[in-house]
Structure formats: structure tokens, C-alpha cells
């Protein structure tokens, strides 16, 4: 009896195995091409970010030289000031230019830090891609060995490869029985018969995205300048306009009339009258029962929120927070700057202390100049240079009270009940 040749019987199995290995090698080849494309894109993106870092370092150096020059001018001016030379206009202008240069330098540094973080992230991802590409290259090398074996009509060996594609007070007399729990509602309407509408832009920031397919848009080296400009536009100081949260605006109302309508006692009338003559840098506000009087406030308008802002001693924010916790909703009366005919009723609001980073660096230069002018009128012995230095060095800190409208209907009912339907 004749036996079958063992080599003849194993040929079909070897051919099937060779076909499977060929398909596997083709898949690994395609995976290698994809990983190589991702690595090339990561290298290209990394090169772009390095160019932007170089541009920012050049800007940083220019700012540093400018700051050094301004510091020398500042030292010379201090020396001349001590010797009796007092040019107020030139002094204030140079100080403002120096402060603006320091603020711009800080912004450039922040953007540079964000870009450096992005570069490091892409370098890590590029390294992962390079490792994966090396493994795929090895798989391709092994595939050539298998093909050589196929050509000789015999099985050489097996190779398995896995490709991993990286993936924030003054004494007050609140009335507890009138306090209510604030609700998260706000009505930001403007009454056009007074001072027009305020504008506030959307805050934007520069950042990086961890995804390989979704990347931040960096069109030109001036992206940092555009981001700084947008941040500046998002925050503004208002002095003569009412808050954007005011649902209504009724006035001007003489204080004698208000005192009669609201039945204010002599102590309250005296406290409100003293607001005009109060020196210092804190918000001039007096709260009584369910209403409050605010004399010439500094109104900080931000993206979607309105604040009463001041720059005071470091313990001021804690005192404000403790004081506002005793308050309920308040009917607000304000006396804006450049107004001398009476008070304005701006509706029912909640008043709460707000913690946030200092907005002094992003305020417009004109807003800062106007703020200092008003503070000098209130405090004749004020030193504007010292005030700025105190803010920069933390001896004077920002404190904010956030205003939130509690409704148009409640405000109009109060105005009608007490005869406050005044129109300017």
C-alpha cells in the first residue's frame, strides 16, 4: 500500500497561511503610513509653534528693554521730584506709559507660557508617534522575510505586531424680616432716556487643545496682540451711566422728597448726607431696611456681569463679604458722577460680594485716568503714583460687589407705590 507524500499534503495549508500573513502585512503597511502622516503633521505643527515662540521672545525682549529704559527715567524723575521739580502733566504721562508697558509685558509672558505648554504637549505626542512608526517599520521588515519564505515554497515563521496610536463694613441696619433668598435671575435692560447703552464684549483667552485633530487657530504672530485687545474690550469702568442691570431708571429725585416718601428717620438722613463728604477709596454706600443709597460709584461692566468696584486695604474684601451676608434684596438709589440734581432709582437688586482676579491690568488707559481724577477730587492729598504702586505691589486690593436685577415688575410696583415715577 502506497503512502501519500507529506510535503504534497501540507502545501494547501502553507498557501492559506501565506495569504493570511500577506493580508496582515498589508494592514500593517497601511497603519505605518497613517502613523507616519500623523508624525509629519505633528512635526510641522511643532515647527510652527517654535516660530511663534521665537516671535514672542523677541516681543518680550523689546518690552524688557522698554521697561528698563522707563525705570531709568522713573528713577531720574523721582530724583528731580525730591529736588523740587514738579511737572504734574509730564509726570503722570510718563508714569502711565511705564505702567502700561509693565502690564503689556505681563500679558506677553502669560501668552508665552501657554505656547510653551502647547509645544511640550506636541513634543510628547510626536515622540509617541515616532515610537509607533518604528514598530511599524520593524513589522514591514519582518514581512519581507515572510515573503521570501513564500517564494521558496516553505513556511519561515510568524510575526505578530500591535500598533498603538497615541491618544473674592460700614455699620448698617438691615431688616432681617425683609430679607429674601436671592434667585439666579438677572434682567440686563437699558432705559435709553438717560445715558445710552453700555457695551461689553465676550472674554476670550488663548489656550491649547489636547486632541490631535482639533487644534487652536494661530494665524499670524500677532495673535497674542489680538487676544490682549479682546481682553481689554471685555471690561470697562462706567462713571456717569447707570448699571446695565438696572431694569428701570427713575430720576432725578430730590433727597427731601425721598426722605418723606420712604419715611427716613433723622439718623438715616444724616448718614446718607455724609456720603458726599466721605473721603477714602471705598464704595460710598448706606443700606437701611430694604433699600440702599450709593453715591458716585465706580461701576465695572464685565462679560455678563456688573460690579461696584473699589481698590482698598487687603482686609476690605473679607469685611464686605461678611456685611453682604446680612443683606436681603435692596431697592437701589444711585447718584452718578457728573449729576447734581438728585438720586436715581434703578430697581430691585441683590448685592453680593464677588471674588475675582484684579481687572486693573485690562482696564483702558482712559478709564484709569478718569478714575484717578475722580479719586483726587475726593481725596485732595492723594498721590496717584503711590496709588498705582500700591495696587501693583498688593498693598491695595480690588473689592467688588456684584449687582443682580431681581425683576422689572417688582421695581415698577415699588416706584408706583412710593411715587417715584420720575422721568428725566
CATH code of the domain covering residue 69: 1.10.287.1490
Give the angle 397-355-363 at the CA atoms, nearest 5°. Answer: 60
Mean pLDDT lowest among 156-160, 267-271, 378-382: 156-160
Percent of the chain with pLDDT over 90: 42
Output the pLDDT for position 287: 96
Domain shared by 361 and 403, yes or no: yes
Count of domains forming the chain: 2
Domain shared by 54 and 134, yes or no: yes
Q: End of a domain among 117, 151, 185?
A: 151
pLDDT of 216 higher than 80:
no
Residues 6+ apart with CB under 8 A from 235: 200, 300, 301, 302, 303, 359, 362, 363
Residue 60 lies in a domain: yes
pLDDT band at 169 (very low <50, low <70, confident <90, very high): very low
Residue 164 lies in a domain: no
Q: Of 27, 30, 32, which is closest to residue 137 (Cα–Cα)?
A: 32
Residues 6+ apart with CB under 8 A from 148: 156
Higher pLDDT, 333 or 60: 333
Residue 208 lies in a domain: no
Report the alpha-carbon distance of residue 192 to residue 248 in Å, rounded.
Answer: 10
Domain shared by 145 and 20, yes or no: yes
Residue 394 lies in a domain: yes
Domain shared by 139 and 274, yes or no: no
pLDDT band at 203 (very low <50, low <70, confident <90, very high): very low
Domain shared by 310 and 391, yes or no: yes
Collapsed DSSP state (helix, strand, coil) of residue 331: strand
Residue 107 lies in a domain: yes
Radius of gyration of the chain, Cα coordinates, nearest whole angstrom:
35
Residue 245 lies in a domain: yes
Domain shared by 304 and 384, yes or no: yes
pLDDT of 220 higher than 60:
no
Residues 6+ apart with CB under 8 A from 68: none
Average pLDDT, the chain: 76
Domain shared by 113 and 183, yes or no: no
Quote the cell numbers at residue 264.
Answer: 427716613
Higher pLDDT, 372 or 341: 372
Report the alpha-carbon distance of residue 113 to residue 317 in Å, rounded.
Answer: 30
Residue 211 lies in a domain: no
> Does the pTM of the predicted model rise above 0.75?
no
Domain shared by 254 and 189, yes or no: yes
- Give the Cβ contact number of residue 384 at 10 Å: 19
Instruction: Please answer whether residues 98 and 70 qualify as being in contact, where contact means their C-beta atoms are separated by less than 8 angstroms.
Output: yes
Higher pLDDT, 12 or 374: 374
Domain shared by 61 and 193, yes or no: no
Range of the domain at 63: 11-151
Quote the cell numbers at residue 410.
Answer: 417688582
* Across 98-106, average pLDDT: 77
Residue 226 lies in a domain: no
Domain shared by 266 and 336, yes or no: yes
Quote the cell numbers at residue 32.
Answer: 505605518
- Give the end-to-end CA distance of the chain in Å, rounded to a whole number: 123
Domain shared by 408 and 358, yes or no: yes
Instruction: Please answer whether residues 76 and 24 qualify as being in contact, where contact means their C-beta atoms are separated by less than 8 angstroms.
Output: no
* Across 200-214, average pLDDT: 36
Instruction: Please answer whether residues 242 and 344 qualify as being in contact, where contact means their C-beta atoms are separated by less than 8 angstroms.
Output: yes
Domain shared by 240 and 377, yes or no: yes
Strand 330-335, strand 291-295: pairing: parallel
pLDDT of 201 higher than 80:
no
Higher pLDDT, 94 or 278: 278
Amino acid at each position: 500500500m502506497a503512502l501519500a507524500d507529506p510535503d504534497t499534503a501540507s502545501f494547501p495549508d502553507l498557501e492559506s497561511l501565506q495569504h493570511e500573513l500577506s493580508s496582515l502585512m498589508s494592514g500593517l503597511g497601511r497603519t505605518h503610513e497613517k502613523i507616519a502622516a500623523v508624525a509629519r503633521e505633528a512635526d510641522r505643527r511643532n515647527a510652527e509653534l517654535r516660530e511663534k515662540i521665537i516671535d514672542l521672545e523677541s516681543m518680550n525682549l523689546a518690552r524688557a528693554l522698554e521697561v528698563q529704559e522707563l525705570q531709568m527715567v522713573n528713577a531720574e524723575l523721582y530724583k528731580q521730584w525730591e529736588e523740587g521739580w514738579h511737572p504734574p502733566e509730564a509726570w503722570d504721562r510718563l508714569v502711565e506709559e511705564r505702567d502700561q508697558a509693565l502690564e503689556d509685558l505681563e500679558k506677553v509672558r502669560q501668552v508665552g507660557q501657554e505656547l510653551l505648554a502647547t509645544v511640550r504637549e506636541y513634543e510628547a505626542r510626536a515622540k509617541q508617534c515616532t515610537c509607533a512608526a518604528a514598530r511599524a517599520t520593524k513589522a514591514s521588515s519582518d514581512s519581507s522575510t515572510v515573503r521570501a519564505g513564500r517564494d521558496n515554497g516553505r513556511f519561515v515563521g510568524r510575526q505578530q505586531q500591535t500598533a498603538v496610536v497615541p491618544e473674592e463694613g460700614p455699620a448698617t441696619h438691615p431688616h432681617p424680616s425683609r430679607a429674601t433668598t436671592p434667585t439666579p435671575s438677572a434682567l440686563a435692560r437699558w432705559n435709553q432716556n438717560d445715558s445710552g447703552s453700555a457695551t461689553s464684549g465676550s472674554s476670550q483667552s488663548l489656550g491649547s487643545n489636547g486632541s490631535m485633530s482639533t487644534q487652536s487657530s494661530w494665524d499670524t504672530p500677532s495673535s497674542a496682540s489680538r487676544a490682549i485687545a479682546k481682553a481689554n474690550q471685555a471690561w470697562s469702568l462706567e462713571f456717569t451711566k447707570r448699571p446695565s442691570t438696572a431694569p428701570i431708571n427713575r430720576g432725578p429725585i430730590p433727597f427731601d422728597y425721598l426722605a418723606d416718601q420712604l419715611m427716613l428717620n433723622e439718623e438715616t438722613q444724616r448718614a446718607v448726607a455724609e456720603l458726599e463728604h466721605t473721603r477714602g477709596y471705598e464704595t460710598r454706600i448706606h443700606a437701611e431696611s430694604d433699600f440702599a443709597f450709593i453715591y458716585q460709584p465706580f461701576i465695572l461692566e464685565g462679560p455678563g456681569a456688573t460690579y461696584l468696584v473699589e481698590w482698598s486695604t487687603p482686609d476690605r474684601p473679607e469685611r464686605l463679604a461678611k456685611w453682604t451676608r446680612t443683606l436681603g434684596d435692596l431697592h437701589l438709589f444711585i447718584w452718578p458722577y457728573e449729576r447734581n440734581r438728585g438720586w436715581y432709582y434703578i430697581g430691585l437688586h441683590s448685592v453680593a460680594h464677588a471674588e475675582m482676579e484684579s481687572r486693573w491690568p485690562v482696564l483702558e488707559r482712559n478709564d484709569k485716568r478718569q478714575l484717578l481724577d475722580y479719586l483726587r477730587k475726593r481725596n485732595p492729598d492723594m498721590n496717584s503714583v503711590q496709588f498705582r504702586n500700591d495696587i501693583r505691589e498688593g498693598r491695595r486690593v480690588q473689592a467688588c460687589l456684584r449687582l443682580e436685577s431681581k425683576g422689572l415688575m417688582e421695581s415698577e410696583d415699588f416706584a408706583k407705590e412710593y411715587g417715584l415715577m420720575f422721568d428725566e
